[in-house]
């Protein structure tokens, strides 16, 4: 007996026609038209039609048409060529078994035409993920993350894994989740920043991590999560932040290219994926301020770019033919303590934007321990809280830098998805802690 998964016609060749095969999956739909019934089975690869004939086996027919939708069954039957079936073949059942019977009514429809509210979908995420278009997002996500590993390994990076429970805030500020660690206070990491930099003192001078970010921000917008993932990277022996930006734009290009090869998923989502051209445009913070002010906004030097400013800037850059762009040389006071100064007021930092959304932020880092301690103090932090981190700078630390690149935001822009919660399996936001 040959075991096949429900899939498209390529799963069954003409050699299988008229042979007995075994299939399993979820009952997506049943159409009973009296003397014949069509049962659509589904697994992660697609769907397949089981055609039950009442005259062949009335008892089997009645049992199979009474199965609730989304039940899991296995079917044993003859594979028949059929020009009318969706895959060019159908299964005529000889026997079937209910592996798991679904309760009714379903809390969420899988193939219903009426679209459910996002909260209803997320409350029943396990069923939401049975939908072909929702699965397509995560299949593409899987492919682009695989391309991260491929690209960075070719650039001589190695993958690392750093702690998520830490003794000090990764980046300063108050947007941290404080937890009790036995008799001590600890935090969930905002990023692997401090550990990435510590790795630069080891001789493993190019490292990356698919990292988890935990940020206690009070935002509850379509593009904010309190738990998210990112490509976090650090590299040593750099001459400046431009070295880092070249790696980042190459990475983005590679990920976008990989996504463009997911033809089946892109077709399901009815999207177009156009690979961006390199290099991405570089614009200084000063230039960006000037551009925005000339387009009706009123910004002073040192102002941060909020949602309105980012959106407007993205629109301007798109009209100029640049959906991707770097904004560089931000004011030093707006950046974390580890950011390398450029003179007294500027920093060797950059953000990568795409159509008005910030995807990545990075910089050259300070590698001089005295300057680093000074910046920690200026930022209102206590150097004693960073003793283990600072120790690594005292015994030989090369010039280095890196970035954090948000995976969910990348998927939002890649696939033109309106809400970031669609891009992670079980989102955590200001109000959602389950499932």
pLDDT (tens digit, 9 = 90+) per residue, 239-270? 999 999 999 999 999 999 999 999 999 999 99
Q: Report, as an integer, the average pLDDT of 22-46.
A: 92
Angstrom distances, CA of residue 428 to CA of 213, 295, 367, 421: 11, 36, 35, 8
**What tokens were used for 235?**
């590299």
**What tokens were used for 245?**
């930006």
Mean of pLDDT over the chain: 93
409 part of the active site = yes
Per DSSP, helices labelled H in 129-262 are 132-154, 193-199, 241-260
Q: Number of C-alpha atoms within 13 angstroms, CB side, residue 175? A: 14
Check whether 7 has a pLDDT greater than 50.
Answer: no
Indicate which residue of 361, 375, 413, 421 is catalytic: 361
Helical packing angle, 132-154 and 407-415, nearest 10°? 120
With pLDDT > 70 as the criterion, what percentage of the chain qualifies?
A: 96
Per DSSP, helices labelled H in 261-327 are 263-269, 285-294, 307-319
With a threshold of 0.85, does the pTM exceed it?
yes
First to last CA, the chain: 40
SS3 for 294? helix
**What tokens were used for 428?**
């955590």
Helical packing angle, 241-260 and 407-415, nearest 10°? 50
Check whether 174 has a pLDDT greater than 70.
Answer: no
> CA torsion, points 374, 376, 378, 381, in degrees to nearest 10?
-140
Indicate which residue of 125, 224, 428, 430 is catalytic: 224
SS3 for 47? strand
Per DSSP, helices labelled H in 178-229 are 193-199
CA-derived radius of gyration, the chain: 27
pLDDT given for residue 355 in this prediction: 93
pLDDT given for residue 1 in this prediction: 33
All residues at 6 or more sequence positions from 247 whose CB lies less than 8 Å from its CB, including other chains: 155, 233, 235
Instruction: Determine contact, residues 169/210, Cβ cutoff 8 Å.
Output: no
All residues at 6 or more sequence positions from 95 whose CB lies less than 8 Å from its CB, including other chains: 60, 75, 76, 77
224 part of the active site = yes
Q: Where are the domains of the chain?
A: 2-100, 125-423
Indicate which residue of 227, 242, 358, 374 is catalytic: 358
Tell me, what DSSP letter sits at residue 164? S
Greatest pairwise CA separation for the chain in angstroms: 87
For 193, other C-beta atoms within 10 Å of its C-beta total 23
CATH number of 2-100: 2.40.50.140
Check whether 353 has a pLDDT greater than 90.
Answer: yes
Check whether 22 has a pLDDT greater than 80.
Answer: yes
Encode burial over 345-369: b for 16+ CB neighbours within 10 A, e otherwise.
ebbbbbbbbbbbbbbbbbbbbbbeb
Nearest to 41 by CA among 81, 86, 82: 86
What's the pLDDT band for 83 if we cut at 50, 70, 90?
A: confident
All residues at 6 or more sequence positions from 311 whose CB lies less than 8 Å from its CB, including other chains: 356
358 part of the active site = yes
Contacts 24+ apart (CB under 8 A), 58-67: 60/93, 60/95, 60/96, 61/37, 63/96, 64/30, 64/37, 64/39, 64/93, 64/96, 65/30, 65/32, 65/37, 65/39, 67/27, 67/30, 67/39, 67/98, 67/101
All residues at 6 or more sequence positions from 83 whose CB lies less than 8 Å from its CB, including other chains: none
Indicate which residue of 7, 215, 253, 421 is catalytic: 215
Q: How far apart (Å, rounded) are the C-alpha atoms in residues 380 and 402?
A: 23
pLDDT given for residue 88 in this prediction: 86
Indicate which residue of 7, 206, 223, 365 is catalytic: 223
Q: Which CATH superfamily is domain 125-423 in?
A: Bira Bifunctional Protein; Domain 2 (3.30.930.10)
- Do 2-100 and 125-423 show the same overall fold? no
Check whether 62 has a pLDDT greater than 80.
Answer: yes
Q: How far apart (Å, rounded) are the C-alpha atoms in residues 169 and 177?
A: 9
Angstrom distances, CA of residue 330 to CA of 342, 362, 367, 385: 9, 11, 19, 27
Q: How far apart (Å, rounded) are the C-alpha atoms in residues 264 and 414?
A: 15
Indicate which residue of 217, 227, 242, 309 is catalytic: 217
7 part of the active site = no
pLDDT (tens digit, 9 = 90+) per residue, 132-148? 999 999 999 999 999 99
| Length of the chain, in residues | 435
pLDDT given for residue 171 in this prediction: 66
pLDDT given for residue 3 in this prediction: 43
For 47, other C-beta atoms within 10 Å of its C-beta total 19
pLDDT (tens digit, 9 = 90+) per residue, 275-307? 999 999 999 999 999 999 999 998 999 999 988
Nearest to 327 by CA among 342, 341, 310, 306: 310
215 part of the active site = yes
Edge-first strand order for the sheet with 281-284 is: 158-159, 206-214, 227-236, 400-406, 357-364, 349-354, 324-328, 281-284
């Amino acid at each position: 007996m040959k075991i096949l998964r429900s899939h498209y016609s390529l799963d069954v060749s003409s050699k299988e026609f008229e042979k007995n095969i075994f299939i399993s999956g979820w009952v997506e739909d049943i159409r009973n038209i009296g003397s014949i019934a069509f049962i659509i089975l589904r697994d992660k690869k697609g769907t397949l039609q089981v055609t039950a004939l009442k005259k062949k086996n009335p008892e089997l027919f009645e049992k199979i048409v009474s199965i609730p939708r989304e039940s899991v069954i296995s079917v044993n039957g003859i594979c028949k060529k059929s020009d009318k079936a969706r895959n060019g073949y159908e299964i005529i059942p000889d026997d079937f078994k209910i592996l798991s019977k679904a309760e009714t009514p379903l809390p969420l429809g899988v193939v219903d035409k009426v679209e459910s509210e996002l909260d209803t979908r997320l409350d029943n995420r396990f069923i939401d993920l049975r939908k072909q278009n929702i699965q397509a997002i995560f299949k593409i996500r899987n492919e682009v993350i695989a391309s991260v590993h491929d690209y960075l390994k070719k650039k001589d990076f190695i993958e690392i894994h750093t702690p998520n429970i830490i003794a000090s805030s990764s980046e300063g500020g108050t947007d941290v989740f404080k937890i009790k660690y036995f008799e001590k206070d600890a935090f969930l990491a905002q990023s692997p920043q401090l550990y990435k930099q510590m790795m630069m003192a080891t001789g493993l001078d190019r490292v990356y991590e698919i990292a988890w970010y935990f940020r206690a921000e009070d935002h509850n917008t379509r593009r904010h999560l309190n738990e998210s993932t990112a490509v976090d990277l650090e590299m040593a022996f750099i001459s400046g932040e431009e070295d880092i930006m070249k790696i980042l734009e190459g990475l983005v290009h590679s990920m976008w290219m990989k996504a463009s090869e997911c033809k089946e998923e892109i077709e399901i989502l009815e999207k177009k994926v156009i690979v961006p051209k390199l290099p991405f445009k570089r614009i200084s913070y000063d230039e960006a301020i000037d551009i925005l002010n000339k387009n009706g906004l009123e910004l002073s030097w040192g102002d941060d770019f909020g949602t309105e400013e980012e959106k407007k800037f993205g629109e301007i850059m798109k009209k100029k033919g640049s959906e991707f762009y770097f904004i560089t040389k931000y004011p030093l006071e707006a950046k974390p303590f580890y950011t390398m100064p450029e003179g007294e007021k500027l920093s060797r930092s950059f953000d990568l934007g795409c159509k008005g959304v910030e995807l990545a932020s990075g910089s050259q880092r300070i590698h001089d321990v005295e300057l680093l301690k000074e910046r920690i103090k200026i930022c209102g932090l206590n150097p004693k809280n960073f003793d283990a981190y600072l120790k690594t700078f005292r015994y030989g630390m090369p010039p280095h830098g890196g970035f954090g690149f948000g995976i969910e935001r990348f998927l939002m822009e890649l696939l033109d998805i309106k809400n970031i919660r669609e891009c992670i399996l079980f989102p955590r936001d200001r109000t959602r802690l389950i499932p």
